Amino acid sequence: MSAENNNTLVHVDAVEKVFHRGSEDIHVLKDLHLKVPQGEFLALMGPSGSGKSTLLNLIGGLDRPSSGSVSVAGERVDQLPDHKLAAWRARHVGFVFQLYNLLPILSAERNVELPLLLTHLSKSERRDHVATALGVVGLSHRAKHFPRTLSGGEQQRVGIARGIVTDPTLLLCDEPTGDLDRKSGDEILDLLQALNREHGKTILMVTHDPHASARASRTVYLNKGQLSNEPVA
């Protein structure tokens, strides 16, 4: 096995994704190939509706390709049975969403704890993991606060803490700065860069913002179902 293959964390090979709308077939991804090395911060750009979030969902095991293969850390995600996918995601994937997806009735620390409920950790172990994650994102002092009392940037930091609390293999971010002002967005991008550079996290970030993609170590562009290293004309 080559050194490149040893270092490849995500391997998307010849993936097609077709959605069916009535009698119409919508080809969202077409013979798509992508390799993401361990430790890379990759930005994925493209027009609305180009399939960026679809690709992220396939890599994160939230959806399955119509054909082709998706592997993460050498494991065929597309072949995992449904009853094993939740445990696989809990172990390997952290998600960060544009709209935070925090539960308003739970405090910051309880929101962060949610992915740990799918693990076998004890209550005290979960508490330690949550404290560590909130510390990494600089929100230890806001652990008891509810989402309504947090700013947008703070809510997204809670979302990132939830994404990293299981120490996942891969962090998938779908427009993580899309609902934030520039200052808050820059703070989130600073945090993602720190997670990548200082903690070695592999990050895939969907974004429409060139300012955000400039923070990544590499940017690829998705248009009409296929990837390119060049911006869409």
Structural domains present in the chain: 38-66+80-228 (3.40.50.300)
Q: How confident is the model at residue 1 (pLDDT cuts 50, 70, 90)?
A: very low
Q: Are 179 and 152 contacting, i.e. CB atoms less than 8 angstroms apart? A: yes
Amino acid at 182: R
* pLDDT for the residue numbered 2: 35
Burial (CB count <10 Å: 0-12, 13-18, 19+), residue 24:
exposed
- Taken in order 98, 225, 215, 42, the sign of the CA dihedral is positive
Percent of the chain with pLDDT strictly greater than 90: 68
The b-or-e profile of 7-17 (16+ CB within 10 A means b, else e) is: ebbbbbeebeb
Name the E strands within 22-129: 24-37, 41-45, 67-72, 75-76, 93-96
| Residue 133 to residue 163: CA distance in whole angstroms | 9
Retrieve residue 136's tokens: 């990494």
pLDDT at 191: 92
Q: What pLDDT does residue 5 have?
A: 52
CA distances from 76 to 8, 29, 42, 166 (A): 13, 18, 21, 21
pLDDT average, residue stretch 83-103: 87
pTM, to two decimals: 0.89
Q: What angle do CA 6, 10, 16 make, to 5 degrees?
A: 130
Please give the mean pLDDT across all residues of the chain. 90
Q: Which of 5-9, 55-59, 206-210 has the lowest mean pLDDT?
A: 5-9
**What's the rounded mean pLDDT across residues 142-164?**
94
